[in-house]
Each structure stands twice: as structure tokens, then as C-alpha cells.
Amino acid sequence: MMQTFQFGPWKIAASEIFYISKLSLGLVNYKPIVPGRMCTVVYVLVLPRRVVPRFADLTSEEVTDLFHSAHTIAAVVEKEYKGESLTITLQDGPQAGQTVPHVHVHLIPRRAGDWANNDDIYGEIDQKEKELAKELKRKTAAVDNEERKPRTPEDMASEAAALRKLFAQAENIWSA
Ligand code: AMP
């Protein structure tokens, strides 16, 4: 059995993780965002291995490792997803739009014209996260009558496996 990790309340299979350092993880996203008139934007999350809801509660060693990891991953992901820039965000607390109570950095590849107005991306992230929070709540209540499929575990695993090869890993968490 492959190891699992926590992202807030959610169990994450190692197959959906593409990067591991001493204190951080890189995770492919469950639900990509879709700008109005372009294709889906797939993006990744970087988080501390320890479940810590708020940024201020990280140790300085975790902060250093998290941002070092985000820095390493950012360059690779931008190139890999043929971005021309990156939106890097951290929503710290529910009033800032955080839906998963576990610190995480969003690394979102950007291209010219992906959003008609550049800053519309923030409204899009916020809206999608609210929908996702509702959806995940329904799933945990075992009343999943939601037909809309975000991404399958296989799809996420295949993306993570492709990305994994591009990084030096601190541990091998992927062998069964
Ligand atoms: P935030 O609203 O800033 O807390 O962002 C939550 C992010 O976590 C969103 O981008 C979701 O798509 C993503 N997400 C939620 N649950 C999972 C999961 N089980 N696996 C991967 N990504 C997830």
C-alpha cells in the first residue's frame, strides 16, 4: 500500500504528490480553474507536510522549506505548462478565501490573454474554491449526487508521475 498524506482534512495518495522535501509537498490540483474563454488552467499546490491551518503557525524551518520548495517548483511548472508568467498566491484564513485549513501556495501558470482582465483570476479562484468546498462537504456527508467530475485520481496520478521526474526528491514515497 502506498503511503498517504494529509491536506487539511483530506487524505492524499502519494500518487498525487509530485514533489517531496524534508518538510513540504507538491500536490497536483483536484480542480483546475477555467478562465472564461480559454482552456483549463492546470496548476499545482505546495504545502507543509505538517497540517498547519495558518501561515503564522508555521515554524521558521517550515517557512524556509515551503518557500524554497515553491521557488524550485515554480520555475519547472511554468516551463512544463508553457506559461509565460505565474500567479503565486497564498490565501491565509477563511476570510481571505482559504477553503482547506492547511497552508498552501498556489502556483498558477499564466499566458497572455488567459483572463481578459488580469486580476479576474482572483475572483475565479475564489468562486471555484467556494463551489469546491460545498462539493467536498457533500462528499464527506456521503451524499454525493454531484455529477460534475473535477478530476479523476488516475488523471491526477498521471500528471504527478510526469512532474515527479523533474525534481530531486528527499524520499521515495511512491514505491508500494
Ligand atoms: P484555497 O481555497 O486557497 O484553500 O485552495 C484550496 C485548493 O485545494 C483548491 O485549488 C482546490 O482545487 C485544492 N484541493 C482541494 N482538495 C484537494 C485534494 N483532495 N487534492 C488536491 N487538491 C485539492
Is residue 128 within 6 Å of ligand 1 at its C-beta? Answer: no
**Is 23 within 8 Å of 142 (Cβ atoms)?**
no
Q: What's the rounded mean pLDDT across residues 149-175?
A: 91
22-63 pLDDT per residue, tens: 999 999 988 776 554 445 567 899 999 999 999 999 999 999
Find the 132 Cα to ligand 1 centroid distance in Å.
8
* Amino acid identity for residue 85 in this structure: S
What is the per-residue pLDDT for 143? 34
Burial class of residue 136 in the structure, from the number of CB atoms within 10 Å of its CB (0-12 exposed, 13-18 middle, 19+ buried): buried
* Amino acid identity for residue 96 in this structure: A
Q: Where in the chain are the domains?
A: 4-164
Q: What's the rounded mean pLDDT across residues 103-124?
A: 83
Neighbouring C-beta atoms of residue 11, cutoff 10 Å = 8
- Gap between the Cα atoms of 75 and 57, Å rounded: 27
What is the per-residue pLDDT for 147? 35
CATH number of the 4-164 domain: 3.30.428.10
What is the per-residue pLDDT for 136? 62
What is the per-residue pLDDT for 40? 59
